[in-house]
Amino acid sequence: MTNHFPVEKLQNIETPFYYYNMELLEQTLQVIKEESSKYGYHIHYAVKANANKRILETINSYGLGADCVSGNEVSASLDAGFPSEKVVFAGVGKSDKEIITGLKNNIGCFNVESIPELEVINELAEKEGLVANVALRINPNVKANTHHYITTGLEENKFGIYIWDLEKVMDKIDELNNVNFKGIHFHIGSQINDLDSYKQLCTRVNELQELFEKRRAIPQIVNVGGGLGVDYENPDENPMPDFKAFFKIFDEFLELKEGQEVHFELGRSVVCQCGSLISRVIYVKEGVNTNFAIVDAGMSDLIRPALYQAYHKIQNLTSSGEEEKYDVVGPICESSDCFGKAVVLPTTQRGDLICIRSAGAYGEIMANQYNLRALPKGFYSSDL
């Protein structure tokens, strides 16, 4: 099970660090490309999941676009080679400076979330003598079955334009000379494993299309966002999600108008399973009811367990002893600095390599320097 980790080579690297299985990343990209091209779908990678340069370059080499949520992500995508017309810029709070970065680089589209933002983009585009393509991010009011921190498509949250405001927003677009209505955009949440949520999204999009048809403003792009989930429990059995079934849902349920393109923004499902956080056991401490395996990685390296009580599979790569239970904790001065409670591991000792799986998405990119720790580095299977 653990044998696709080059353990001897990993032993020589200073821990903690991120290890990326680049073959798995490429296999995943190949499947995405094959399954999406059956329907002519356009795929953008959501850069916020992992903006590591090598990863961005690999993703670009498979022809995906880049979905960015900050000016720096726009710049990083262009640096990694993404063509500017395949770069889109989303986010509820774009600053003037970030908008200007997008405009000056001629990016493909701004996904707009409010009337004030629309006005600012128009004003800045006018100053630059440009017309900006915009897509409207609409809050579709679809409940995705997932963690409440990561659902986004419901009425009472900050994301997107409410359906009842759409006419007003479209009137505004008609008034403005330096924005061009290009598309509609939706994103219902993250780590969604129940494809029914996507069926519901399709139904909602179909209903909304009528509003645009009445106004004779047919959006060229229908962007249905990302959010496809991965199997954190069984990363070896399910190293990638069922992309075939995912794209098929949209082919079956989305009713398109002539000339419309369907766009996706996949983040986690592209990069999650290829990444692991590798750390070393510093001490094993016996408690009253539990043993602690204290590792040299902490919540500063991977914050998901502390932030969302997220589950990550944990393995000991160097022991094959009898199974025991450990709380796997980091060195940081916070009790939430815990990667897993009562984790079953072979007898674990100081010096063992501990692997925290499915950490390629929202892992390295969320690392911080709390306790003045160094940021973790990335290492790539293809270099070892």
Active-site residue among 109, 274, 333, 338?
Answer: 333
Q: What is the DSSP string of 170-227?
A: HHHHHH-SSEEEEEEE---BSSB--THHHHHHHHHHHHHHHHHHHTT---SEEE----
187 near ligand PLP, rule: CB under 6 A:
yes
Q: Choose one: 26-34, 96-104, 219-227, 338-346; the region binding ligand PLP (CB under 6 A).
A: 219-227
DSSP-derived pairing of the beta strands 109-112 and 87-89: parallel
For ligand PLP, the closer of residues 224 and 294 by Cβ is: 224
187 versus 357: smaller Cβ distance to ligand PLP:
187
Q: Which residues touch 56 (CB under 8 Å, ≥6 apart)?
A: 45, 47, 66, 76, 77, 80, 81, 82
Check if 338 is active-site: no
Confirm or reject binding of residue 190 to ligand PLP (CB under 6 A). Answer: yes
What's the maximum distance between 2 C-alpha atoms anywhere in the chain?
71
Neighbours of 109 (CB within 10 A): 27
Report CA Rg, the chain: 22
Min separation Cβ 185 and ligand PLP, Å: 7
- CB-based closest residue to ligand PLP: 267
* Number of residues in contact with ligand PLP under rule CB under 6 A: 17
Alpha-carbon distance of 38 to 45, in angstroms, equals: 18
Q: Would you count residue 226 as binding ligand PLP (CB under 6 A)?
A: yes
Backbone angles phi, psi at 380, to 5 degrees: -125, 135
Binding to ligand PLP (CB under 6 A) within 82-141 occurs at 90
With contacts defined by CB under 6 A, name the span among 266-274, 290-298, 313-321, 324-332 that binds ligand PLP.
266-274
Task: Report the residue from 20, 21, 32, 48 that binds ligand PLP according to the rule CB under 6 A.
Answer: 48
Contact 256, 208 (CB under 8 A): no
Give the nearest distance from C-beta 295 to ligand PLP in angstroms.
Answer: 26
Interface with ligand PLP, residue 306, by CB under 6 A = no
Window of 161-169, 235-243, 261-269, 309-317 that interacts with ligand PLP by CB under 6 A: 261-269
Residue 357 is a binding residue for ligand PLP (CB under 6 A) = no
Cα-Cα-Cα-Cα dihedral of 359, 365, 369, 371, to 10°? -30
CB of 269 to ligand PLP, least distance (A): 6
HSE-up of 93 (CA within 13 Å, CB side)?
Answer: 1
Catalytic residue positions, numbered? 333
Site for ligand PLP, rule CB under 6 A:
46, 48-49, 67, 90, 187, 190, 225-228, 265-269, 361
